[in-house]
Structure 1
Amino acid sequence: MRDFVTGLAFVIAGVATIITAQQFPTLPSLQYGPSLFPSIVGAGFCIGGAVLAANALWNRKRAVVQQGVVEVTTLGEPTSGRAGLAMLLPPVAILFYIFASDYIGAMLTMTVIMFVLMILRKTVPWVALVASLLVALAIYFIFSRYLLVPLPQGVLIEGRLPWIF
Structure 2
Amino acid sequence: MKISNLLAGLLIGLAGIAIIWYAQTLPLMPGQDVGPGMFPTLIGAGLVICAVLLARRDLRAPARSPWLSFPPEFRHARTLAGFLLVPTSLILYVWFSESLGFIPAAFLLQLALYLVFRVRLRTAIPVAIAGALVIHFLFYKLLEVPLPWGILDSIAW
2:7 partner letter? V
Q: TM-score, normalised by structure 2?
A: 0.73
Q: Which residue of 2 aligns with 1:91?
A: 87
Partner of 2:16: 14
One-letter identity of the residue aligned with 1:94: L
Counterparts in 2 of 1:61 and 1:23: CA distance versus 1, 3 Å = same
The equivalent residue for 2:69 is 76
Aligned partner (choices 127, 131, 135) of residue 131 of structure 1: 127
Structure 1 position 151, deviation (Å) = 1.2
Closer, same or farther in 2 for the Cα pair 1:121/1:47, shift >3 Å?
farther
User: Bigger CA drift: 130-139 or 1-10?
Assistant: 1-10
The partner residue of 1:143 within 117, 139, 143 is: 139
Shift of 1:97: 0.9
> Gaps spanning 5+ residues in structure 2: where?
none
Matches within 5 A, 1:26-41: 26-28=28-30, 32-39=34-41, 41=43
Tell me by how many angstroms 1:42 deviates. 2.9
Which amino acid in the other structure matches residue 132 of structure 2? A
Which letter maps to 1:125? L
- Quick one: distance in 1 between partners of 2:41 and 2:8? 20
Equivalenced residues, count? 152
**Amino acid in the other structure paired with 1:98:** V
Moved more, 29-38 or 125-134: 29-38
Q: Secondary structure at the match of 2:90?
A: helix
Distance change >3 Å, CA 36–CA 113, structure 1 → 2: farther
CA distance in 2, matches of 1:48, 1:133: 36
CA distance in 2, matches of 1:74, 1:10: 14
TM-score if structure 1 supplies the norm length? 0.70
Alpha-carbon distance in 2 for matches of 1:37, 1:90: 26
Q: Which runs of 5+ in 1 are unaligned?
A: 65-69
Tell me if structure 1 keeps the 8 A contact 2:78–2:116. no
1:153/1:82 CA distance change after superposition, 3 Å:
same
Per the TM alignment, residue 138 of structure 1 is displaced from its structure 2 partner at its CA by 1.8
The residue aligned with 1:67 is: none
Question: Match for residue 23 of structure 1?
Answer: 25
Identity of aligned residues (%): 28
Please state if 1:107 is matched with 2:103. yes
